[in-house]
């Protein structure tokens, strides 16, 4: 059975519009004008138990609105949502016991208390008996390596440690699904890696389904097996990570440093991205030309240094966004 | 059901306990805040000494009764602002989208939203209330009645604030209405009912229930009256119900609305 | 001088956008007046009765003026800001600026009071007229005279608040001092005229700041005479000079400490 089922979901917002200047402000007070913005348009997808899903899209694409509908904060205008078989609109409390949420930019912890006390507070919110909360904390302490700081007030923790605690706090009630909204925002690379390890570990140990939004390609690449891309309120791509790469990765970037200047012309399957005489950067479409053929064009004897790479995932994703943008 | 209420109370009290611990981090500020609030309230005794030098009774109250009124008013204010501080800025919570955090928790949203912070100086208000009760004349029955009325009155002003602040679910700038309502309640509460007449007096026992929260308790402590007693208890329950009904209506509107007001 | 005029103007303009907030604040003022109106109507058996030299409408006009002076000042925020600047070390940024810090404080705060003053005066007069149906006998010159004492009163209040704020250079937290000052002005200077207090305190009150920041302008407004005007103005100038010197002194001491401790 699918753990999340979304069927033809839509949500429209009414947004106040205002002309410029004082006159516009006055007009907005007397006769406000509204514009309907379709934040989410008829989207459908399913998520299976134990998946780690990346739910991504540019700013304003409808990510937050969708997450808010999935967690029962907002009700949809049209369509159905079933999370763990629960209708999010009708049984908010029942749903709340089963899901966990971490909003990267909204802190839920008491900053003057230690993580330990905070975990106990969350235990009380979810009506978990004291003895079980303690056992749980002990378990997390070992599993997620919280030893160093479990008894330090949250306000004295580093940002990374705080986020770790935020995530662990949302696990106290053993949610079946965890919604993570931008969990690694504003963190340095080492800490990001830490958080990713934590997420992976919890997925492995507890089979927690993870629904993650992020702007960080690293998060998506390293954590997720499946990607759903949403743009302008619509699902534009719902595919496995492998497929995404496979489809878009038939292009390679070749960067070469040459002994001599060579002149290269555009031909089928090759696009010159940069040509500074000795330094070259070309894109090879492997469906049309093999990398070997491309290298021959460069004259392998004259190559001082070479680097052949996939197109960065970041570029792939922004390409998908752009493509959808121009379709309109 | 009973279990649910018990768990809810446990969480709310824990939240208040944690908030107090936060305030106690700086003990000097904690204590000066309380003491200064007591002194602040006490400074108004000068006003009443002067007024009573002009007239034997003000608005039908003797000096001691005014002190009792001050005690009730300050203790109800203190009770409400200590336990439910956020009820008095609820429209901020609503407008800034901070309700979302409580909506994903399996607890009552209103209680979670208003029991998350404490006002330390409110402790001073509560203490001052009891000091005034001693000035008025202490005995066990007046002490018990006083305590009961402080709880009732505190709940009434909290509920009025919740109701007015809930207007934010429907109208964006309604926090002005809520602030006005709250300052009306607190300012009028320390003046004897007899100085108000006509429509205003009717308002004080209906829309702006200062009369129920403050004037009736003074009357009942001065001279016990079972009917008035029942009215105070009844109105308190009524306001609690109204607050929950209106807030929950607003919450439903919040979730299903399609008005985007600083929601992102 | 031109510099401070410009600071003042900029502050006035940036406060223009908070007009709605000013109106919201005015509601609180209105409530207080409404209560006082009812209270005094109850205390006076009949409107022509005279208590301590005031008729009922003089008494209420008195409170209208003192409450305007108090509300316009919005002293709590201003004083708290200076205290924060001193304690947080922000004040160090002002040391090497090419202006006199006290002049700068005065210009900004008077600028932020300006819009509030206009609105409170207009609305306050309007409410008084509606509640009482009469206006004290004043002509254009005496109104101007009262206005001048009102402005000077605000200048003195601002200087005194600056002094209290800067005092946190010397003691850890000057907030309790603000508290005492504000209570004195509110309880002894705003809700009753000096004549209402026991005779032995009255002379003390007449030499206290209460006389120049609240009683003076309000008493002139309800019972104008030129002799008293001159008297008040003289006192106000003396107060301005003293308050300014006190501010400069504390500021100098403070800056010296900044230089030693490095902020």
Contact C192 B40 (CB under 8 A): no
Structure tokens at C56: 């009922």
Span B157-178, pLDDT tens digits: 999 999 999 999 988 778 888 9
Is 50 exceeded by the pLDDT of residue B114? yes
pLDDT along chain A (328 residues), means of 10: 88 74 64 79 91 87 87 89 89 91 80 91 92 92 87 89 89 92 83 87 90 84 88 87 75 83 76 80 82 79 83 78 60
Q: Using CA of residue C226, residue C230, residue C233, residue C239, what is the dihedral sign? A: negative
Is 70 exceeded by the pLDDT of residue B26? yes
Is 70 exceeded by the pLDDT of residue C72? yes
Contact C43 B47 (CB under 8 A): no
Cα(A36)–Cα(C229) distance, integer angstroms: 63
Mean pLDDT of B63-92: 95
What ipTM goes with this model? 0.86
Q: Which are the contacts of B180, defined by CB distance < 8 A and separation ≥ 6?
A: C24, C27, C28, C31
Closest partner residue to C35 among B46, B50, B188, by Cβ?
A: B188
The pLDDT value given to residue A47? 92
Cα(B110)–Cα(B162) distance, integer angstroms: 9
Of the pLDDT bands very low, low, confident and very high (cuts 50, 70, 90), residue B227 is: very high
Lowest-confidence range among B170-174, B197-201, C178-182?
A: B170-174
Mean pLDDT of chain C: 89
Q: Tokens 């390890």 map to which residue?
A: A197
Contact B22 A12 (CB under 8 A): no
Mean pLDDT of C53-82: 91
Of the pLDDT bands very low, low, confident and very high (cuts 50, 70, 90), residue B221 is: very high
Distances in whole angstroms, Cα of residue B62 to Cα of each of A112, B143, C44, C74, C191: 47, 20, 17, 34, 20
Q: Where are the domains of chain B?
A: 2-256
Contact B256 A75 (CB under 8 A): yes
Contact A93 B106 (CB under 8 A): yes
Q: What distance in Å separates residue B257's CA from the closest CA in chain C? A: 27
Homologous superfamily (CATH) for A4-10+40-245: P-loop containing nucleotide triphosphate hydrolases (3.40.50.300)
Report yes or no: B1 at the A interface, CB cutoff 8 Å.
no
Q: Who has greater pLDDT, A318 or B87?
A: B87
B window 22-41, beta carbon within 8 A of C: 32, 36, 39-40
Closest partner residue to C38 among B40, B180, B195, by Cβ?
A: B195
Cα(B47)–Cα(A181) distance, integer angstroms: 56
Cα(B88)–Cα(B175) distance, integer angstroms: 10
Mean pLDDT of B203-217: 92
Q: With beta carbons under 8 A apart, name residues in chain C contacting B50.
A: 192, 196-197
Contact B25 A112 (CB under 8 A): yes
The pLDDT value given to residue A307? 87
In three-state secondary structure terms, A113 is: coil
Using alpha carbons, select from C142, C161, C162, C140 the residue that is nearest to residue C150.
C142
Residue A27: which H helix or E strand, with range?
A: helix A21-30
Q: With beta carbons under 8 A apart, name residues in chain B contacting C39.
A: 51, 58, 191, 195
Contact B260 A99 (CB under 8 A): no
Q: With beta carbons under 8 A apart, name residues in chain C contacting B124.
A: none
Task: Give the CATH number of domain A250-310; options: 3.30.70, 1.20.120, 3.40.50, 2.60.40.
Answer: 3.30.70
Report yes or no: C32 at the B interface, CB cutoff 8 Å.
yes
User: What phi and psi values does residue A37 have, to the nearest 5 degrees?
Assistant: -120, 120
Is 70 exceeded by the pLDDT of residue B259? no
Q: With beta carbons under 8 A apart, name residues in chain A contacting B14.
A: 121, 124
Cα(C120)–Cα(C19) distance, integer angstroms: 11
Span B124-143, pLDDT tens digits: 999 999 999 999 998 999 99
Contact A72 B104 (CB under 8 A): yes
Q: What percent of chain B has pLDDT over 70?
A: 97
The pLDDT value given to residue C150? 96
Q: What distance in Å separates residue B59's CA from the closest CA in chain C? A: 7
Q: Who has greater pLDDT, A269 or C83?
A: C83
Q: Where are the domains of chain A?
A: 4-10+40-245, 250-310
Subunits in contact with chain C (3 or more CB pairs closer than 8 Å): B
Report the helix count and the strand count for chain A, using DSSP H and E.
11, 14
Lowest-confidence range among A147-151, B62-66, C144-148?
A: A147-151
Are C and A neighbours with ≥3 CB pairs closer than 8 A?
Answer: no
Q: With beta carbons under 8 A apart, name residues in chain C contacting B43.
A: 183, 186-187
Q: Which are the contacts of B176, defined by CB distance < 8 A and separation ≥ 6?
A: C24, C27
Using alpha carbons, select from A233, A230, A104 the residue that is nearest to residue A179.
A104
The three-state DSSP-derived secondary structure of B150-197 is HHHHHHHHHHHHHHHHHHHHCCCCCHHHHHHHHHHHHHHCCCCHHHCC
Cα(B236)–Cα(B232) distance, integer angstroms: 6
Is 90 exceeded by the pLDDT of residue C179? no
Looking at chain A, which residue has its C-alpha nearest residue B4? A127
The pLDDT value given to residue B245? 97
Closest partner residue to A14 among B11, B104, B258, by Cβ?
A: B258
Report yes or no: B2 at the A interface, CB cutoff 8 Å.
no
Of the pLDDT bands very low, low, confident and very high (cuts 50, 70, 90), residue B261 is: very low
Q: With beta carbons under 8 A apart, name residues in chain A contacting B105.
A: 96, 125-126
The pLDDT value given to residue A193? 87
Q: With beta carbons under 8 A apart, name residues in chain B contacting C24.
A: 176, 179-180
Q: What distance in Å separates residue B7's CA from the closest CA in chain C? A: 40
The pLDDT value given to residue C99? 85
Closest partner residue to B105 among A75, A96, A110, by Cβ?
A: A96
pTM of the shown model: 0.85
Contact B15 A117 (CB under 8 A): no
């Amino acid at each position: 059975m699918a753990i999340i089922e979304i069927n033809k979901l839509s949500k429209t917002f009414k947004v106040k519009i205002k002309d410029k200047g004082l006159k516009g402000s006055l007009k907005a007070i007397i006769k406000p004008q509204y514009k309907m913005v379709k934040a989410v348009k008829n989207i459908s997808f399913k998520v299976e138990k134990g998946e780690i899903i990346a739910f991504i899209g540019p700013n304003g694409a409808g990510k937050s609105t969708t997450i808010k509908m999935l967690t029962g904060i907002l009700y949809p205008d049209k369509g159905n949502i079933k999370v763990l078989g629960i209708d999010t609109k009708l049984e908010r409390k029942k749903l709340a016991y089963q899901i966990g949420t971490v909003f990267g930019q909204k802190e839920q912890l008491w900053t003057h208390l230690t993580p330990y006390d905070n975990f106990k507070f969350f235990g009380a919110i979810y009506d978990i008996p004291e003895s079980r909360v303690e056992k749980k904390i002990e378990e997390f302490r070992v599993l997620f390596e919280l030893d160093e700081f479990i008894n330090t007030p949250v306000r004295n923790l580093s940002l990374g440690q705080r986020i770790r605690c935020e995530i662990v706090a949302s696990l106290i009630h053993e949610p079946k699904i965890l919604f993570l909204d931008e969990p690694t925002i504003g963190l340095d690379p080492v800490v990001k890696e830490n958080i990713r390890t934590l997420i992976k570990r919890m997925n492995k140990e507890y089979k927690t389904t993870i629904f993650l939004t992020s702007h960080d390609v690293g998060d998506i690449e390293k954590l997720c097996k499946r990607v759903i891309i949403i743009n302008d309120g619509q699902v534009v791509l719902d595919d496995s990570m492998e497929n995404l790469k496979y489809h878009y990765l038939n292009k390679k970037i070749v960067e070469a440093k040459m002994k001599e200047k060579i002149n290269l012309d555009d031909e089928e399957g090759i696009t010159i991205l940069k040509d500074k005489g000795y330094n070259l950067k070309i894109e090879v479409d492997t469906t049309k030309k093999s990398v070997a053929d491309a290298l021959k064009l460069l004259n392998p004897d004259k190559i001082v240094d070479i680097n052949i790479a996939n197109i960065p995932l970041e570029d792939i994703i922004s390409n998908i966004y752009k493509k959808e943008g121009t379709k309109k | 059901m009973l279990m649910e209420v018990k768990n809810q109370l446990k969480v709310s009290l824990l939240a208040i306990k944690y908030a107090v611990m936060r305030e106690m981090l700086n003990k000097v500020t904690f204590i000066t805040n309380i003491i200064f609030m007591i002194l602040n309230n006490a400074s108004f005794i000068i006003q009443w000494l002067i007024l009573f030098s002009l007239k034997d009774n003000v608005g039908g109250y003797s000096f001691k009764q005014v002190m009792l009124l001050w005690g009730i008013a300050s203790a109800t204010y203190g009770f409400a602002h200590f336990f439910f501080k956020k009820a008095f800025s609820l429209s901020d919570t609503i407008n800034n989208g901070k309700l979302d955090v409580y909506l994903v928790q399996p607890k009552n949203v209103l209680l979670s939203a208003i029991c998350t912070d404490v006002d330390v100086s409110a402790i001073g208000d509560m203490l001052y209330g009891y000091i005034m009760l001693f000035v008025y004349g202490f005995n066990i029955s007046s002490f018990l009645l006083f305590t009961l009325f402080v709880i009732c009155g505190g709940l009434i002003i909290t509920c009025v604030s919740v109701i007015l602040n809930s207007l934010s679910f429907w109208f964006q700038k309604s926090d002005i209405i809520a602030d006005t309502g709250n300052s009306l309640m607190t300012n009028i509460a320390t003046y004897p009912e007899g100085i108000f007449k006509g429509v205003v007096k009717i308002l004080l026992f209906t829309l702006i229930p200062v009369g129920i929260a403050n004037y009736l308790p003074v009357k009942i402590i001065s001279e016990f009256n079972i009917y008035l007693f029942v009215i105070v208890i009844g109105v308190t329950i009524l306001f609690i119900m109204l607050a929950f009904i209106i807030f929950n209506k607003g919450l439903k509107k919040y979730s299903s609305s399609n008005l985007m007001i600083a929601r992102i | 001088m031109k510099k401070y005029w410009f600071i003042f103007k900029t502050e006035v303009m940036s406060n223009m956008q908070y007009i709605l907030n000013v109106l919201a604040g005015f509601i609180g003022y209105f409530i207080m007046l409404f209560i006082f109106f009812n209270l005094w109507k109850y205390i006076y058996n009949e409107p022509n009765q005279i208590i301590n030299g005031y008729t009922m409408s003089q008494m209420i006009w008195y409170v209208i003026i003192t409450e305007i002076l108090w509300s316009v000042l919005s002293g709590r925020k201003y004083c708290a800001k200076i205290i924060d600047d001193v304690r947080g070390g922000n004040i160090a940024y002002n040391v090497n600026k090419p202006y006199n810090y006290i002049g700068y404080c005065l210009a900004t705060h008077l600028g932020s009071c300006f819009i509030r003053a206009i609105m409170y005066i207009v609305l306050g007069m309007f409410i008084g007229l509606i509640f009482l149906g009469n206006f004290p006998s004043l002509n254009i010159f005496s109104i101007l005279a009262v206005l001048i004492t009102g402005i000077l009163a605000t200048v003195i209040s601002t200087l005194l608040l600056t002094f209290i704020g800067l005092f946190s250079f010397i003691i850890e937290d000057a907030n309790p001092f603000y508290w005492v000052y504000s209570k004195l002005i509110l309880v002894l200077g705003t809700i009753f005229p000096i004549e209402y207090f026991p005779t032995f305190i009255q002379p003390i009150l007449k030499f206290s700041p209460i006389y120049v920041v609240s009683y003076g302008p309000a008493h002139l407004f309800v019972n104008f005479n030129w002799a008293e005007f001159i008297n008040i103005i003289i006192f106000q100038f003396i107060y301005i000079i003293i308050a300014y010197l006190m501010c400069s002194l504390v500021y100098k001491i403070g800056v010296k400490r900044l230089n030693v401790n490095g902020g």
